[in-house]
Amino acid sequence: MAGTDSDSEAEFLARYDPREFDPAAVTVDVVALTIRDDALHVLLVQRGEPPYAGQWALPGGFVRAGGHRGPAEDLPDAAIRKLSEEAGQHLGQIHLEQLGTYGTPGRDPRMRVITVAYLAFAPELPEPLAGINAQAAAWTPLPLLKLAHATGAQQPGTTRKLAFDHAQIIADGLERARSKLEYTPLATAFVTEPFTISELRAVYETVWGEPLHAGNFHRKVLSVPGFVESTGQTTQTGGPRGGPRARLYRRGDARLLHPALLRPGREDEVR
């Protein structure tokens, strides 16, 4: 805007009514999911100021739009920057995808804010002890959160209420993650290479929230072309409570799982 002002702006607005133009604040928020201790966790930061002071919120912030304050920043870059700041380390290689955009008037009590939400998946990361910012950031188990559609077992009384509409955003991200496990190799983004079939199964069980049949899962994963690729190696020891050494795999080259691994027993949720 500054410099190239009303003239070229009016040109741009030619097919609209220029008087309809209001600037809005554009932010990115990131739903970063990981698995710790067999539970799905999301990265949250604690707010220090009102509104929602003391409550937890998604990491996020303003997109550098490219006004007089510096170069313009692409939306995914802004998401990675915000996430990296709060996670305490640079996460350039993380799996990131756009989740959706939330712009209902009043979702922020003070001004019109349009938030582009991103969804990130990572293998277990260290607790963000010393973030760039002063405020607390922490990986938080999803069962502790008050989400729109209950994730399953929640301890009442200990649930944390989230700022803004972030509970809805997390619920949407969770449903996206559950769905993408079915037809993409997304589960491999939650483990470090090399991994075992059991580790992969633990990802599915944790995200879907239900146990899977170990034998059938094993055969199924190996039967999907390009899902995983053998390393020829095995673990050095058996499991902590017994069992043989497991073969190790790395990610395959498939971008879609065919046939898909469908969630069991969803006939009810169809109407």
Partner DNA sequence: AAAATAGTGTCTTTCAGACAGTATTAA
Partner DNA sequence: TTAATACTGTCTGAAAGACACTATTTT
Question: Which residues make up the interface to DNA (CB under 7 A)?
Answer: 196-198, 213-216, 218-220, 222-223, 234, 237-247, 259-262, 264
Contact 227, 254 (CB under 8 A): yes
Give the range of 46-54, 196-204, 208-216, 230-238 binding a copy of itself by CB under 8 A: 46-54
Q: Is the dihedral of CA 71, 75, 76, 80 positive or negative?
A: positive
177 φ/ψ angles, rounded to the nearest 5 degrees: -60, -45
Contact 227, 172 (CB under 8 A): no
Q: Which does 196 bind (CB under 5 to 8 A by kind): DNA, a copy of itself, none?
A: DNA
Judged by CB under 8 A, how many residues of this single chain contact a copy of itself?
66
What is the widest separation between alpha-carbon atoms in the chain? 74
Residues β-bridged to residue 180: none
**Residue of 6, 54, 90, 133 interacting with a copy of itself (CB under 8 A):** 133
Q: What is the spatial distance between Cα 126 and Cα 88, in angstroms, rounded to a whole number?
A: 9
**Residue of 105, 156, 215, 240 interacting with a copy of itself (CB under 8 A):** 105
Q: Under rule CB under 8 A, which residues in 192-221 are in contact with a copy of itself?
A: none
Residue closer to DNA (CB basis): 77 or 205 = 205
Q: Which does 150 bind (CB under 5 to 8 A by kind): DNA, a copy of itself, none?
A: none
DSSP state of 152: S
Q: Under rule CB under 8 A, which residues in 14-33 are in contact with a copy of itself?
A: 14-17, 19-26
